[in-house]
Structure 1
């Protein structure tokens, strides 16, 4: 089992902010920080330091420019457990102090931070990291300061640290041993008797949860990663999904969530991960059914990965026919044409939008009412026409086309958007990429101008690349320095030497072969290396998931639930969102 020996936190200026000792005698932060900074960036999350006494494994994460370090003198069986602990500490701080996590917030709430660190680790062993369980034993900063004032203690005292007998807490270099902990009920004591009596039987859920309005929300977010070859054939297409659940239900509810997708959940989802509240046996017996007792509030219920090309994609790639290749139904694609114009210095970026994602319902009757369900009452709401941003009418929001440029490009001239697509193409001389941004309103106008052709709206960006002219540059004016390629033949006495220009000899040697080369051909060859080689596309789509996963039902098991009340039907809602941040890469 992994042992947590200490936790050190540094601010954005690498100034020691907090020191909490749990076990053994690890090296101090003044020794570990220089050794950590000595490694070049990007620094790995696990660094072995053999020159310390004893030899130390140093775990680290960075959260909101704050550096978290955790030393360990023994080789642990689960190094990921310590890294996960550091992430849990950062999440707990954000839950209590608010995001983003700043050094000033930690300094102003040392009492809360000390209690959290004492409860999360007991004698070096991770004990409690669930947010709802911590809420049962550690009060929020405003409540805690009010209780401190009632018992006659200063509200900013840091003497409430140390949950275990072997832990110590240090603020600004002042160390303190274990001290009495203030329980949420306001009683002082070393133990946790009152907290244990009111603790929830479910570790991840708070005790005695009460809500005036019972609500449950399911938000499924998928991140798209697609690579397309120059011929337009998809090479890889992966969707990483996250199921975020918000439960504001009284008592201890037992919920059932059913998922479905074309081809079956078992064949689509790969590498699933679940919150500890999910009953794994139920999922193994019936894939697609999630049975769980949720934590109170918002949490990540599950994560998964979907291969959009399917298992038959490898066989399709081996065939010579392009018709049998895998196809994707994604909101938009982009292609790049290079070497245009008389001097082959022009390029063209063409954006093609899928006509399905117009934001208008393409269904009618009962089909539209089923696909338009979003937020609803006791069940899922349905209407005769799907609203924009739902499954019946998915809408594309802000779109960004990113065109990286070679390092030899000095400028891009005559950068313009054709076909009246709108949007804004941003480039400054010396930049390494072009950003073409189109907002949701311009996308809707572009699709409306398509006039229902069914092929999809198109927009084109065109520009001309300009390379660095080395021959015209002047070294005295700060231009690029040209290094000579001349070689010299010396005699043994050193009295004389003769210069021999390799470039001149190469020119004479190739004079006969290159006599027919024109200046235009040389210019085209020069501009060929200045052309972009790919373009990436980023967007977000409301009401659509690449994997096709849907929520079929969400219900409460009345027999297994406790404290909800008879006849109570929670308000339910489902939303789908696809995000691709430079997720679609089209090569040329």
Structure 2
């Protein structure tokens, strides 16, 4: 059976801030860290160390610049150990606050020790749900004050001191397991949850990973979605979330994963319908992967379908295109950024009056920096990254039609930033229609080979030339040619041929210095690349407990699509 032997946490300076051993005699933190750092960076999540006794597997994650290591001397399940490390990091961040700092762990070691003991008992992973941990772990003083200020229980009922009679001696309060009467039947939800305002929020976030061929045709297009849910409802609510997509939910998503609260039988019976009792607070309800090109996109490469149809099916907010080897010497390149007019930013008044969908109200604009709805998607700042080969010494004559480009000699790429106001101005100046608005970036590459060729003296060793060294003239080589005038005329033609060859050689050298791709980063509010929508979010009054008669929770839905260098155009 898989077991966790120990947990070590190191700060950004590789200093040990926590050692917690669960079972056995694993290598100490001072022994394990040098062996881990000896591997070339970036270190993988799983490293095998054969030089230890016995040979050890090391699982690692990095969160908020803190390094989490867990050794294992026996065969274990890698996903279990890595997921446990992620759960520990999330629990520490939940109890100690975000971001997770070394000083917070050192100053609250009593809370950290309780968490680690509850989450893993004798090396066996037991309780890792945040809501269940709040019932059995004493929170820090500042967290208790914060929870008490908003009307939540400031400490766990199981940790409160027992009632004392006037004649009884005081005794310390020790943690004890909740009794059967007070135990929560739902392990991922806290008992006796109370909220003054009942609210339910759904946030669907998709991250793009798209690769475009030099012709502009998409080679692959994937969207990785996350359904984030926020439940601030009293009692034990029973919810139903209905998802839909233009081509059917089963034809749109693949590889779905769900929180343990989701009833899988209901999903199999009615695809697209999620029935669950939510944890208290914010959590990840589900995740999925969507192929934006469809299952038959590989067969389309053998057909004669046009590129425009393939691009129209994606309907991307921003796409790059790279043109290289321009100019007489092939040293110039151009990157063209195209922005779809569909994502033109609208005034906030129009977005604020957008209608609800499926009985769901729109959330307030304070949840995001700018509004964005399905009717009027809002595109944020666009960034284009152009990677450069290592042989490029500098970029000459770098200029853009919109935005600002940043490059310094020695950088590995060019960062072109088009701010939101520049995007709005670009789309406002666009005349409309289906043609996208575009901005350009141009530059010239300069490499070591090109500079050495220009500065080197031109020497021609021709037959019939005699070389002499004259000291009276200050030193230097001189030639005296015995070539006939007719031969000199032939030499001029030969010089032109050599000049043409040098020009071709320079173009070939500059071609090696050209960028090979460009990636685009952006975020769009109110739009999902997969087309998934929330049809309804309902509360099952028959199954819910403690909600109160006539109480209707406020519901809101937000969509967000993010590309972190996810749209790549190759050339």
Instruction: Answer with 10-19 or 435-444: which moved more.
Output: 10-19
Hey, what does 1:288 align to over in structure 2? 272
| Change in 2 beyond 3 A, CA 1:241/1:370 | farther
1:475-505 CA-partner distances (Å, limit 9, x unpaired): 9xxxxxxxxxxxxxxxxxxxxxxxxxxxxxx
Question: Post-superposition shift, 1:99?
Answer: 1.6
Pairs aligned (count): 506
Gap regions ≥5 residues in structure 1 = 147-180, 476-510
Is contact 2:161-2:173 (8 Å) kept? Answer: no
Q: Does 1:524 align with 2:507?
A: yes
More helix by share: 2
Equivalent residue, structure 1, for 2:211: 227
How far apart are 1:228 and its partner, in Å?
0.6
Aligned-residue offset at 1:512: 12
Report the equivalent of 2:443.
Answer: 463
Does 2:342 align with 1:356?
yes
| Alpha-carbon contact 1:244-1:300 (below 8 Å) kept | yes
SS in 1 for 2:298: helix
Distance 1:114 1:323, change over 3 A: closer
| Offset, 1:388 | 5.1
1:184 aligns with 2:159: yes
Q: Which has the higher contact order (CA 8 A, sep 6+)?
A: 2
Give the root-mean-square deviation of aligned CA atoms: 3.0
Residue 343 of structure 2 aligns to a residue in which SS?
A: coil
2:367 aligned residue:
none
Structure 1 length normalisation: TM-score?
0.80
Match of 2:96 in 1: 97
SS of equivalent residue, structure 2 residue 200: strand
Partners of 2:449 and 2:509 within 8 A in 1: no
Q: Deviations over 1:277-327 (max 9, x none)?
A: 000011111110000000000000000000000011011011244359633
Report the secondary structure of 2:286's partner residue: strand
Aligned to 1:344: 330
For residue 403 of structure 1, what is the aligned residue in structure 2? 386
* 8 Å contact kept, 1:233–1:325: no
Q: Counterpart of 2:29?
A: 29
Deviations 1:500-547 (A, max 9, x none): xxxxxxxxxxx9997573443333223222221211111110100000
Match of 2:432, SS state, is: coil
Please name the residue that 1:451 is paired with. Answer: 431
- 1:305-384 counterparts in 2 under 5 A? 305-322=289-306, 326-327=310-311, 328-360=314-346, 372-373=355-356, 379-380=360-361
Question: Does structure 2 conserve the Cα–Cα contact (< 8 Å) formed by 1:373 and 1:390?
Answer: no
Change (3 A) 1:564 1:527: same
User: How far 1:370 sits from its partner (Å)?
Assistant: 11
User: Is 1:246 matched up with 2:245?
Assistant: no
3-state SS of the aligned residue for 1:67?
A: strand
The answer for the alignment partner of 1:65 in structure 2 is 65
Structure 1: how far apart are the matches of 2:273 and 2:552? Answer: 20
Task: Decide whether the 8 Å contact of 2:12 with 2:65 is kept in 1.
Answer: yes
Q: Which residue of 2 aligns with 1:272?
A: 256
TM-fit CA distance, 1:43 = 1.9
TM-score, length of structure 2 as denominator length: 0.83
| In 1, Cα distance between equivalents of 2:453 and 2:65 | 42
CA distance, structure 2, for counterparts of residue 215 and residue 182 of structure 1: 25
Q: Are residues 22 and 44 of structure 1, via their aligned partners in 2, closer, same or farther at CA, if it must alter by over 3 Å?
A: same
Q: Is contact 1:331-1:354 (8 Å) kept?
A: yes
CA gap of 1:520–1:59, structure 2 versus 1, over 3 A, is: closer
The answer on whether the counterparts of 1:137 and 1:195 sit within 8 Å (CA) in structure 2 is no
Give, in whole Å, the separation in 2 of the partners of 1:2 and 1:189.
Answer: 34
Which residue of the partner structure matches residue 417 of structure 2?
A: 437
Match of 2:45 in 1: 45
**Comparing 50-59 and 424-433, the one that deviates more:** 50-59
C-alpha deviation, 1:138, in angstroms: 1.0
Residue aligned with 1:455, SS = coil
CA–CA distance in 1 between the matches of 2:5 and 2:114? 17
Residue from 552, 565, 570 that aligns with 1:582: 565
Deviation per CA, 1:88-137, whole angstroms, max 9, x where unpaired?
11111100111221111111101111111111112221110000000011
Partners in 2 of 1:257 and 1:388 — Cα distance? 24
SS of match in other structure, 1:133? helix
> Unpaired runs of 5+ in structure 2?
146-155, 163-171, 364-369, 456-493
Structure-2 change in CA distance of 1:556 and 1:536 (3 Å):
same
In 2, Cα distance between the equivalents of 1:285 and 1:430? 58
Aligned CA distance change for structure 1 residues 58 and 405 (closer, same or farther; 3 Å): closer
